[in-house]
Structures are given as structure tokens and as C-alpha cells.
Amino acid sequence: MKRDTRIVHSGLHPEKQLGAVNPPVYHVSTVTYPTIAAMRAAGHDPFNGMRYGRYGTPTSQALEEAVCDLEGGYRSVSTASGLAAIAGALTALLKSGDHVLVADSCYGPTRRFCDEQLKRNGVASTYYDPSIGAGIADLFTPETRLVYVESPGSLTFEMQDVPAIAAVAHARGALVVMDNTWGTPLFFKPFEKGVDVSIQAATKFIVGHSDAMLGVITCGNHDLWHAVKTSLAMAGVCAGADEVYLGLRGLRTIGVRLQQHQASGIKLASWLQTRPEVVRVLHPALPGDPGHAIWKRDFTGAPGLFAFEVKPCPSSSVDAFLDSLEHFSLGYSWGGFESLIIPASPGITRTAKPWEAKGPIIRIHTGLEDPDDLIGDLVRGFEALRLNS
């Protein structure tokens, strides 16, 4: 089956629901059983069918089946947010005394989880330069159990050589867990590149409409899935029924949405490269970007999330730029239909190797508006920046 056909049909079972195309939204805590024998039987297999709302429903299982199919894994687990998926996977797969290697460019709250919660759990974290590749071998200790990859990082867009990192990790008996939210289940196939567990902050492109928090952890084999699902079930982690439904609904159009996010993002990024106010554009799909060769080798596309560096100027000039925009909204997150913009300070948390920029960094999520309107908005922004410099 080709990709776009999978997007439409994965996880759909109309024959089980009176022919309805989409699964019903099971709003459920209690499940009742006709007999005590049926109740006991459900207890033997709690993660299939429906035993109790927290363990999963046909709605959450439909989303998990569809995302798993697109990512190319064994089986998925849905969670209440992307961060819950990251925290849940790391908690499930690490124990006291273990050591984890984490990309220095990772999402900020992931870093905080490692520095505070994993540390409290007795797990030590070491951050690695995202450009390290096979050189990551030098950072392994006898306790290293896991490498946490995010490629590219969602503020600096540095690409990582995931297959090289995975080869080193596997040779040393360690797992590779990846935040694949930027790559989406369409543009990067984690299990073909050596990843063992892939995480989607489904809040972004899967939901796609900025109206729900959702995460999905996809595991490459039964043992990993069982370990993750059991740990999350023990901790009471599950996704809400309506959020799961919004994820399923969003997923059916992710292919066409991403086409436009991608095309408009590249148009904006290429235009920004021509602006005299811009030092550089951080977008791995642009030829000349330091990560372009890896992106071209390992990815089949790029969503419209990227950043650019402005020539050094007072912070009030950047504020004037941001305040003058009419189509870009100031807001965190990404992946929705609307364009977003934020100022970013990616260098401040880095510890493996300094990440330097001479001027301010601005991150853009390119939405589904007409890209010419978005460019017109940025023209307005640069004019405000010039007047306030």
C-alpha cells in the first residue's frame, strides 16, 4: 500500500461499528461484564479489547494502530501529551543506576525532565553535541542504556546522523529513543534508521488544528511495547477520548497538510535568505544548510518549522518586528493550520558544545495561509524592525 492510502485506511474498521467510517468515541471509565468468567478473562489480557477506560479503548487503539502503521513500528501507546510520551518512555526504559545520552539540542522540557526527574530516579544524563555521529562511542559508559535523539532539534534544526548513532548504541547494547515530531510519521521512518522507540508529540502535525494535547509512543518490538505499556498503565497515563478522536481525525489529512506546510515553509525560508536583515536561515531542506546532506539522505520531506538569525540589533527591534505581524500569531507549539512565531534563545541551556549566534533567533511555524500573505507580513515586520533599530 502506498503512503497516502495508508494515511486514509490505517486503523479503520467500519465492519466492527455498523459500517461507520470513523470509530465511535468511547467515553468510558467502567466496563461491565455479563458474567464473572468474562470479567476474569478480560483481566488476563488488559491491553486488548476494553477492560477499563484507562487501559485503552477501540478509539485509542485505532489511533495507535494508524500511527504505528505509518511509523513502521510494532505497536504504539497513546498518552495525554507529547511530553507525557517522552517522560513515559524514558521512565519505562530506564532504572536507577542507568546512564542516558541526550542530544544537547533536545526540546527544553525534555532536558528538564532528565535533569530533575530522571536524576531523582537515580538516572544520570550526559548531553552530546548533535553533530557527533559515530563519535558518540566515546561518551558511552558501562551504565549507558539509552540514547535519546531529536533530529533536527526544534529550535536550532541541527541534524543528527541517526543510523550512525544507532549502530554504536546497538553494538553496546543500548536503546535508541527518538523524538520524531519534526520528521512526522511521513518524512522520517525511524525503524528503518535504527530507532527502537519513536515518539510523536501528536499535539503538532497529527492533531494539526491546535485544539488537543496528545502523544504517541511507537515501539519496534513486543518486549519494548509491553514494557512501555505496562509502565504507563501502572502510572495511570492514558489519553482522553476526545483528544484521541481529534488525533485520528487530524491524521487523515496529514499528507495534504504537510505538502503545503513544506512548500510554503521552503518558500518563506528561501525568501528570508535574500533579506539583508537576516544572517542565516536554519532549515535543513535548504541546500547549503549544515544538515542538508543528512536530511537529503534520511528524510523525504520537511515540515514548515524552521528558524532564522537576524543581524545583531536591540531586543526592542525584535519586539517591534513581532508585534507588527498580522498573520503570524505569537504562540508556542507548532503543527496547526495557523502560522506561529516566537523569539528563541537556544544557546542558553547547551552544555556539550556552545551553540552560538551573533544576533537574535526567531522561529517560524509556517501554517496553511497563502505564503505570499505571510511574506507580506514579514516585510511589514522588517520595516518595523528597521524603524526601531
Ligand X SMILES: Cc1ncc(COP(=O)(O)O)c(C=O)c1O
Residues noted as catalytic: 54, 107, 179, 204
Report, in Å, the least distance between residue 84 CB and ligand X: 7
Minimum CB distance to ligand X smaller for 51 or for 204: 204
Question: What is 25-65 written as a DSSP string?
Answer: ----S----SSHHHHHHHHHSTTTTTSSGGG--HHHHHHHH
Show the CA angle centred on residue 110, arms to residues 106 and 116, nearest 5°.
130
Phi-psi region of 311 (alpha: psi -120 to 50; beta: other; left: phi over 0): beta
Nearby residues of 365 by Cβ (< 8 Å), 6 or more positions away: 304, 305, 333, 334, 335, 336, 339, 340, 341
Cell representation of residue 307: 528558524
Euclidean distance between CA atoms 197 and 191, whole angstroms = 8
In this chain, which stretch among 80-88, 121-129, 285-293, 357-365 interacts with ligand X, using CB under 6 A?
A: 80-88
Cell representation of residue 22: 470513523
Minimum CB distance to ligand X smaller for 78 or for 144: 78
Report, in Å, the least distance between residue 91 CB and ligand X: 15
Interface residue with ligand X among 82, 88, 190, 381 (CB under 6 A) is 82
Phi and psi, residue 148, nearest 5°: -105, 115
Show the CA angle centred on residue 263, arms to residues 260 and 266, nearest 5°.
140
Among positions 159-188, residues that touch ligand X (CB under 6 A) are 179, 181
Report, in Å, the least distance between residue 283 CB and ligand X: 16
In this chain, which stretch among 75-83, 165-173, 262-270, 381-389 interacts with ligand X, using CB under 6 A?
A: 75-83
Report, in Å, the least distance between residue 215 CB and ligand X: 6
Residue 77 in contact with ligand X, rule: CB under 6 A: no
Interface residue with ligand X among 7, 83, 92, 237 (CB under 6 A) is 83
Count residues contacting ligand X (CB under 6 A)?
12
| In contact, 223 and 175? CB cutoff 8 Å | no
Interface residue with ligand X among 176, 213, 217, 294 (CB under 6 A) is 213
Residue 303 in contact with ligand X, rule: CB under 6 A: no
Euclidean distance between CA atoms 371 and 327, whole angstroms = 10
Cell representation of residue 352: 556539550
Residue 154 in contact with ligand X, rule: CB under 6 A: yes
Report, in Å, the least distance between residue 32 CB and ligand X: 33
Euclidean distance between CA atoms 294 and 276, whole angstroms = 28
Cell representation of residue 187: 518524512
Report, in Å, the least distance between residue 150 CB and ligand X: 6
In this chain, which stretch among 79-87, 111-119, 125-133, 278-286 interacts with ligand X, using CB under 6 A?
A: 79-87
Interface residue with ligand X among 230, 333, 349, 389 (CB under 6 A) is 333
Q: Catalog residues that contact ligand X under the rule CB under 6 A.
A: 81-83, 107, 154, 179, 181, 201, 203, 213, 215, 333
